[in-house]
Chains A and B, each alone.
Chain A
Amino acid sequence: MNLSVQLAPKNKQGLLLTNPVMTASGTFGYGTEYSRLFDIQKLGAIVCKGTTLNHKDGNPQPRIVETASGLLNSIGLQNIGVNALIKEKAPLWASWQVPVIVNIAGETIDEYARIANELDGVAGIRAIEVNISCPNIKAGGAEFGANPKSAAEVTAAVKTATSLPVLVKLTINTSDIAEIAMAVAEAGADAISLINTLRGMAIDIIMRRPLLGNIIGGLSGPAIKPVALHMVYKVAGAVDVPVIGCGGITTASDAIEFIMAGASAVQVGTAIFTNPRAPLDILEGIEQFMKKEGIEDIAELVGAARY
């Protein structure tokens, strides 16, 4: 049975995954946090916490609110910064079998390019995921992902700054996601991942104030899955680069739905908080499904439900 997927066919280095199950940025730390709970080397890839040029403190508390079948977060990209990441995290990743992809976020196009440039050629880093979709920061983030022109500019700048494969992660807090996806692919993105969280909020009716310290946050979890699936379906039909599906994936059948909608790989995020082994359970479930359905190559399933 062949589960491997190539996520950057046009890139010299390529991004070959042994299987299509990845972890979503922000939900899996730097990978090390989960390594004592299960064999993380079996994963297709790990996408690390969103990384900025300098370290970032993040947003005030509270940062987490549970909602119906979902989770609102307003972490605000708290992270150690790109230099600390290269010094403290990458050396360990270099000894790992599982590829690590670094998610990056900037406040300006120049910042994105500088971070990408710092990461270029660093052992242990296999690709970059450009975050133009974080709803939780004041400057940058989703601003760049909201219109095709700036999304393409960020993508082009990052591509120029690094020879690593470049994934671009999109927001759906925009008017036409297919248009953004096409602009990003045109600008050289090797693959597109979607979706990031949806903007949302919750209110404490006794205290009469928003529950999140940042007032608004990003909604994730099973609640957003149908929306994410539709967006993946839409984008996969608009671009010819690989699409990575993300948004509320909790079970193997969820993951297979995304693959059938046109995703070459999937990212598991919020489900990990409830079940840390969720990515592996999903991988095993995909294998069982393929066995049962007599499918030899995962590629046969990609886009299988497209009409």
Chain B
Amino acid sequence: MSLEAGKIAKIAKPGQFLHIKIDDMPFLRRPFSLHRMYNSNIDIFYHVVGKGTQALSQKESGAKLDILGPLGNGFEIKEIKNQVLIGGGIGIAPLFALAEALVNTSTQICVIIGAKTKERLLCEEDFAKLGCKVQVATEDGTGGKKGMATDILKDILLSLPPTETILYSSGPNKMLAEVSRVANVASVSCQISLEETICCGVGACLGCVVKTATGYKRVCSEGPVFKSDEILLGS
């Protein structure tokens, strides 16, 4: 879905999110990562999974939306030689905006996309068009390599010098936990974008916290992008 939001597009950075009031019902705003940014437009990318996304998908072209944003901290872009982006499922959405920002730097961008089945593989061609080296994995083997995206990641990291490599990831928590573990073993700097139910979106309500080595942190305002070694996923 493409949104015309000039003021936001001007200052938004990959990894940040928009908090959108879709209708009077459901009650809370819904967070969406920035998928693509061009001119005064921002694209968001989502699957219809509940009442909020269902209502959003019914909006007609030209409809007005109440958008709060850009919110949160985005990816910290570093001009390191090897940029590895790994996304699972719809988690690939914010990585595309990141790749768009990275293509202007003199770095090599390698993208790993994972999904359950071939039908669920997203953005493969879009990344390729940008000039990224793309590899895919599906759990059932219907597309790309059979297995997990993190299996490909392990292979790739073997051939890259850790100090000249940076990793960015977005996807289900289970995948992020494995990415963090692999990054840690390989001593590669890694940033992960977390997904949570976001309530206020500005750090006031403390509803969207995640456990870190130094206590709870707010996904909406201290994240959603964190350094992987500070987050305690699945604990």
Q: Which of B27, B204, B206 lies in contact with A274, CB distance below 8 A?
A: B27
A62 at interface, CB cutoff 8 A? yes
A29 interfacial by beta-carbon distance below 8 Å: yes
Q: How would residues 40 to 71 of chain A score, 1 for a CB under 8 Å from any chain B CB and 0 otherwise?
A: 00000000010000000110011110100111
Residues of B within 8 A of A73 (CB): 199, 205, 207
- Size band of the B side of the interface? 20 to 34
Q: Give the residue name and chain of the B residue nearest to A29 (CB).
A: B204
**Which chain B residue shows the least CB distance to A60?**
B211
Given the interface pairs A57-B216, A273-B29, A275-B21, the reply to whether A64 lies near B199 with Cβ below 8 Å is yes
In the assembled complex, B208 has its CB within 8 A of some CB on chain A: yes
A221 close to B (CB within 8 Å): yes
Q: Which residues of B contact A272 (CB under 8 A)?
A: 200, 204
A26, A49, A73, A274 interface centre (most CB from chain B within 10 Å) = A274
- Give the contacts of B186-224 with A (CB-CB under 8 A): 197, 199-211, 215-216, 221
Per the bound structure, the CA–CA distance linking A49 and B204 in Å amounts to 8
A174: min CB distance to chain B, Å: 25
| Contact in complex: B27, A33 (CB < 8 Å) | no
Distance A37 CA – B29 CA, assembled complex (angstroms): 16
Q: Provided the pairs A64-B208, A73-B207 are in contact, do residues A34 and B202 lie with their beta carbons within 8 angstroms?
A: yes
Q: Which residues of B contact A49 (CB under 8 A)?
A: 204, 206
Rounded to whole Å, the gap between the CB of B198 and the closest CB of chain A is: 9
- B binding-site residues for A, Cβ under 8 Å: 21, 25-29, 66, 68, 197, 199-211, 215-216, 221
Please provide the 7 A-B residue pairs with the shortest distance between their CB atoms, ordered closest to farther. A29-B204, A64-B207, A33-B204, A33-B202, A78-B206, A33-B203, A63-B207
16 more contacts with CB within 8 A, not counting A37-B202, A275-B66, are: A27-B205, A29-B200, A29-B205, A33-B200, A33-B204, A34-B202, A49-B206, A58-B216, A61-B209, A64-B208, A66-B27, A71-B28, A75-B206, A75-B207, A78-B206, A273-B200
User: What are some 27 contacts across the A-B interface (CB < 8 A)?
Assistant: A26-B205, A27-B204, A27-B205, A33-B200, A33-B204, A49-B206, A57-B216, A58-B216, A63-B206, A63-B207, A63-B208, A64-B205, A64-B207, A66-B26, A66-B197, A69-B25, A71-B28, A71-B199, A73-B199, A73-B207, A221-B27, A273-B29, A273-B200, A273-B201, A274-B27, A275-B21, A276-B202
